[in-house]
């Protein structure tokens, strides 16, 4: 073996030293090293489990947020629909009020027109009565009792109204 460059007694000493060193390391440090490696393995495993749990929690939170967003959108759509319905109802109520007010205004205007027409007719009658009295006084050429003439004219007008009303019907 010398030819190969191996010295047998040195090799035996090296092997014995290696064996003693291995036994010493096994007794002193191997259990500690294995324990440290086991602890590290457990920490890594715990970290991976925690990461998986966080990932699942994040996915669940994301799903919950999506559901809340969908519910919010539906809520907004419902509120918009309710607002549209309320606006339509308000518009219809306002149109109905405007119609009622317009009808009331028309009724007041018609009543006022009737009153003004009646007043104009009455004024015309009075004027016509004065004119008739004046004309009659001139025809008769004497002064007649104005009150008697007025009664006579009112009677003639009433008769003409009654006959005019009868003709209209």
Give per-residue pLDDT as tens, 85-102: 999 999 999 999 999 999
Residue 71 pLDDT: 92
Residue 97 pLDDT: 94
CA distance 75 to 66: 14
What tokens were used for 66? 């999506």
What tokens were used for 36? 């440290």
End-to-end CA distance of the chain: 157
Q: Is residue 7 over pLDDT 90?
A: no
C-alpha 112: how far from its chain's center? 44
Residue 160 pLDDT: 67
Q: How would DSSP label each residue in 45-79? A: HHHHHHHHHHHHHHHHHHHHHHHHHHHHHHHHHHH
pLDDT over 90, % of the chain:
52
Give per-residue pLDDT as tens, 79-138: 999 999 999 999 999 999 999 999 999 999 999 999 998 888 888 878 777 777 766 666
Confidence bin at 165 (pLDDT 50/70/90):
low
Q: Where are the domains of the chain?
A: 2-168
Contact between residue 115 and residue 90 where contact means Cβ atoms under 8 Å apart = no
């Amino acid at each position: 073996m010398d030819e190969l460059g191996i010295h047998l007694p040195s090799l035996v000493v090296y092997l014995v030293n290696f064996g003693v060193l291995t036994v010493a390391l096994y007794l002193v440090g191997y259990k500690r090293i294995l324990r440290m490696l086991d602890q590290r393995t457990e920490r890594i495993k715990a970290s991976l489990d925690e990461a998986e749990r966080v990932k699942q929690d994040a996915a669940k939170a994301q799903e919950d947020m999506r559901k809340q967003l969908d519910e919010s959108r539906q809520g907004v759509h419902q509120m918009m629909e309710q607002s549209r319905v309320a606006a339509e109802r308000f518009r219809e109520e306002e149109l109905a009020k405007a119609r009622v007010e317009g009808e009331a205004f028309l009724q007041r205007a018609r009543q006022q027109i009737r009153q003004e027409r009646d007043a104009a007719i009455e004024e015309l009658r009075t004027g016509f009565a004065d004119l008739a009295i004046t004309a009659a006084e001139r025809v008769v050429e004497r002064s007649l009792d104005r009150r008697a003439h007025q009664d006579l004219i009112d009677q003639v007008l009433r008769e003409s109204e009654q006959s005019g009303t009868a003709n209209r019907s």
